[in-house]
Structure 1
């Protein structure tokens, strides 16, 4: 399923380094198992409740598989050009009028002003034109981070303002946001999106899900030296052996299941990865670095 949209992929390819196969620290992470059977997560309430309804999931019917069930993740949104073309980036519903995505997903609109953007909610199979819960909502405006660096993908975060409110239901609803600073090192997180299944493959017709592990940011720094800073970290590094997010997943959510609420919390946004998907770690925007508490 990593992370660039359209021609902006060219901006990052030149800086992609290779993973050292003999890195003992990396081998530790590669040999760490992740739990695939998470289909009951996010359904029943946890011992603590959230201050609003958010981050729930609907019952999954494919145990341990990569394909998400229809509307399994109500918080999921997608970006596409109005009336044409496939989904090119993911996003997460924050409020009835706001969707969060990666800045590089919306930056190109400054260059191609003729493209009208819509956000799709309630989507599962993008080849079906009349899905019951799917709806396209026109975009009113885009608020990109003022310090977004289009070549280094720093501050890769953007807020999409919708022209009309999203109608919340059991199948469409907001993500939970972090309420405190949490160290996610070694935590299992979930990536969802319609991105490619392999580097040279086609985009997925249906929404896919993948569990990954948060690893030390220094490992991403070694692989993407020009784009990573550990002094004032604003990114999360993730890894899964032979599996990864891929082109088309950009802007989509990096989700962490809060054990106290049993609800999915939006902790990151898919930003970028290796030129060849699933050959090294992936870089994600760390949402907690941009939240006022």
Structure 2
């Protein structure tokens, strides 16, 4: 899990926001497009900072690693139509991520969709808690995957529902993952996109990673073909 910090600058006014993200290769990080776009403009790579091996943001261990971005990729349709359309982004990092670092490693991504309707998948992030304050440490929970029709979703949407906890503001871009029992490795199903302002016990929509698999692989091939994603053989 990556903690992503973004500084936006518009008309000499600047502000900072944070999101979740996931590592998919030693040079590529996956997040939501709305985490790196403001007013239809993609943030400049130098205004992005990613922190790895982080758990409690109020109590750093000194083992956290900060990496910078070289390029940011967003779908054109998102820039044209906004949040409901292809809310996904790929960040190409300046540095190669060292997977020998404790708590740092890639999540698998698959071309084929998993049969996850009515199953529970893992959600995580530093977003708002039940008291609507940002969590100082990385929290985890589970969500049941619903039929996208229930959420009014499109082909690239995953609809989830929780009764006790939910994704909320600050969780955007973070991964929803599934333990593949055949490989005993976690695969990323989707990434947090949008949901109810009240969060708890409400439906949330995340972006289906498999829908964008070919686009992701094209970016990897164009930027650093020496790295590859983890996936089933």
Normalising to structure 1: TM-score of the pair? 0.65
Q: Kindly report the root-mean-square deviation, in angstroms, between the aligned alpha carbons of the 2 structures.
A: 2.4
Q: Which runs of 5+ in 1 are unaligned?
A: 1-75, 222-227
> The residue matched to 1:143 in structure 2 has which SS?
strand
> The residue matched to 1:291 in structure 2 has which SS?
helix
C-alpha distance 141-107 of structure 1, shift in aligned 2 (>3 A): same
C-alpha distance 114-189 of structure 1, shift in aligned 2 (>3 A): closer
1:112 deviates by 6.6
Provide the residue aligned with 2:18 in structure 1.
88
Provide the residue aligned with 1:269 in structure 2.
191
* Cα separation, 2, equivalents of 1:86 and 1:133: 23
Which entry has the higher C-alpha Rg, 1 or 2?
Answer: 1
1:125 deviates by 0.8
1:284 deviates by 0.5
1:162 deviates by 0.8
Q: Which ranges of 4 or more aligned residues in structure 1 deviate by more than 3 Å? A: 111-115, 149-152
1:113 deviates by 5.5
Which residue of 128, 135, 139 corresponds with 1:208? 139
* Maintained 8 Å contact 2:45/2:72: no
> The residue matched to 2:84 in structure 1 has which SS?
coil
* Cα separation, 1, equivalents of 2:104 and 2:196: 32
* Maintained 8 Å contact 1:139/1:160: yes
* Cα separation, 2, equivalents of 1:208 and 1:181: 26
C-alpha distance 112-155 of structure 1, shift in aligned 2 (>3 A): closer
> The residue matched to 2:122 in structure 1 has which SS?
strand
C-alpha distance 150-242 of structure 1, shift in aligned 2 (>3 A): farther
C-alpha distance 204-215 of structure 1, shift in aligned 2 (>3 A): same
- Please give the residue correspondences for 1:104-253 in structure 2 after superposition, counting only pairs within 5 Å: 104-108=34-38, 110=41, 116-129=47-60, 131-148=61-78, 151-169=82-100, 170-198=102-130, 201-221=132-152, 228-229=153-154, 233-253=155-175
* Cα separation, 2, equivalents of 1:100 and 1:112: 15
Normalising to structure 2: TM-score of the pair? 0.80
Higher strand share: 2
Provide the residue aligned with 1:103 in structure 2.
33
Q: Which runs of 5+ in 2 are unaligned?
A: 8-14, 218-233
Provide the residue aligned with 2:209 in structure 1.
287
C-alpha distance 111-103 of structure 1, shift in aligned 2 (>3 A): closer
1:115 deviates by 7.3
Deviations 1:13-57 (A, max 9, x none): xxxxxxxxxxxxxxxxxxxxxxxxxxxxxxxxxxxxxxxxxxxxx
1:218 deviates by 1.1
* Cα separation, 2, equivalents of 1:152 and 1:252: 16
Give the aligned length.
206
1:107 deviates by 0.7
> The residue matched to 2:37 in structure 1 has which SS?
helix
Return the structure number with greater relative CO, CA threshold 8 A, min gap 6: 1
* Maintained 8 Å contact 2:191/2:208: yes
